[in-house]
C-alpha cells in the first residue's frame, strides 16, 4: 500500500429500535401529568408507603396509556425513528 495514496472510509450505522424505545415514546407525555409530578417524600420510599406510591403511579400510568390515541402517536414515532441520532436506552 502506497502511503501517498488517498483512501475513503465509509461507516454505516443501523439504528435498531426496541420495545423499550417504543415504551419510552408511549410514556413520554406522562411527564406532563400532574399526578406524575407530585413529590415523593423520603419517608414514602419504604415499606407499606412505598407499595402505596408504586400502586398509585402504576394506576396513573395504566389510565394514561389506555387513553392514548395510537394513531396520533404513530406519525411522531415514525419521525423520531428516522431523525433521532442517538438511542441511549
pLDDT in tens, 20-53: 999 999 999 998 889 889 999 999 999 999 999 9
Q: Is the whole model's pTM more than 0.75, yes or no?
A: no
Composition of the chain by helix, strand, coil, percent to 5: 60, 0, 40
Q: Does residue 70 form part of some domain?
A: yes
Q: Is the pLDDT of residue 13 over 70?
A: no
Residue 27, domain member (yes or no):
yes
- For residue 28, what are the domain limits? 19-83
| Between 65 and 89, the higher pLDDT residue | 65
Cell of 54: 408504586
pLDDT at 25: 94
Query: Does a structural domain hold residue 1?
Result: no
Residue 5 domain flag: no
- Say if 24 falls within a structural domain: yes
Identify the residue with better confidence: 84 or 13: 84
Instruction: Let me know if residue 32 belongs to a domain.
Output: yes
User: What is the C-alpha to C-alpha distance for residues 89 and 81, in angstroms, rounded to an integer?
Assistant: 14
Amino acid at each position: 500500500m502506497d502511503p501517498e495514496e488517498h483512501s475513503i472510509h465509509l461507516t454505516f450505522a443501523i439504528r435498531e429500535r426496541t420495545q423499550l424505545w417504543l415504551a419510552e415514546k408511549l410514556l413520554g407525555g406522562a411527564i406532563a401529568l400532574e399526578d406524575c409530578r407530585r413529590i415523593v417524600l423520603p419517608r414514602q420510599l419504604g415499606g407499606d408507603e412505598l407499595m402505596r406510591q408504586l400502586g398509585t403511579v402504576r394506576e396513573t400510568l395504566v389510565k394514561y396509556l389506555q387513553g392514548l390515541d395510537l394513531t396520533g402517536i404513530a406519525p411522531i414515532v415514525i419521525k423520531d425513528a428516522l431523525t433521532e441520532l442517538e438511542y441511549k436506552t
